[in-house]
């Protein structure tokens, strides 16, 4: 028999499930708090109850009397969503203050999504209408 006729070894089996695939992942870096908050924020976005806490650009338009309180209500919905779906939020970050800060970071990733940028757009629109 020549060397060309040797049988090649079979490939090892592929992982059977996503869980098995995850176990083989080389980079096991956990999602950051901002990643987790952004994922939940995107899931909640179509809910009018959640979205109403982002609508106000002037203090008198807020649902709860201040931007801060509206942010906290949105964060509480994020906490509830995570709890209902067993989404792990690091225990030292699963408090209102760090979650609110993370939510504000997430909002800043989207053009025109922060209250400040939306207010500036509204003000510029009004200036253009008056010219």
Note whether 80 and 20 are within 8 A (CB): no
pLDDT digits (tens, 9 = 90+) for 48-86: 999 999 999 999 999 999 999 999 999 999 999 999 999
pLDDT digits (tens, 9 = 90+) for 85-101: 999 998 889 999 999 99
- Tell me whether residue 84 is in a domain: yes
Note whether 118 and 57 are within 8 A (CB): yes
Token pair 């999504």 in the structure block, residue: 113
Residue 23: pLDDT band (50, 70, 90) is confident
How much is the mean pLDDT over the chain?
91
- Positive or negative, the CA dihedral 22, 25, 30, 32 is negative
- Tell me whether residue 5 is in a domain: no
- Tell me whether residue 15 is in a domain: no
Host domain of residue 122: 32-130
Give the pLDDT confidence score for residue 130 in this predicted structure: 61
**pTM of the prediction?**
0.76
Number of domains in the chain: 1
């Amino acid at each position: 028999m020549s060397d060309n006729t040797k049988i090649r070894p079979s490939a090892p089996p592929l992982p059977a499930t996503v869980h098995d695939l995850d176990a083989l992942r080389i980079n096991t870096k956990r999602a950051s708090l901002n990643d987790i908050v952004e994922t939940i924020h995107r899931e909640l976005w179509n809910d009018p109850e959640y979205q109403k806490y982002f609508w106000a650009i002037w203090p008198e338009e807020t649902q709860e009397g201040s931007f801060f309180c509206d942010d906290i209500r949105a964060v509480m919905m994020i906490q509830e969503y995570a709890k209902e779906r067993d989404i792990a939020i690091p225990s030292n970050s699963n408090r209102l203050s760090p979650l609110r800060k993370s939510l504000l970071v997430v909002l800043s990733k989207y053009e025109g999504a922060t209250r400040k940028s939306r207010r500036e757009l509204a003000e510029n629109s009004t200036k253009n209408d008056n010219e």
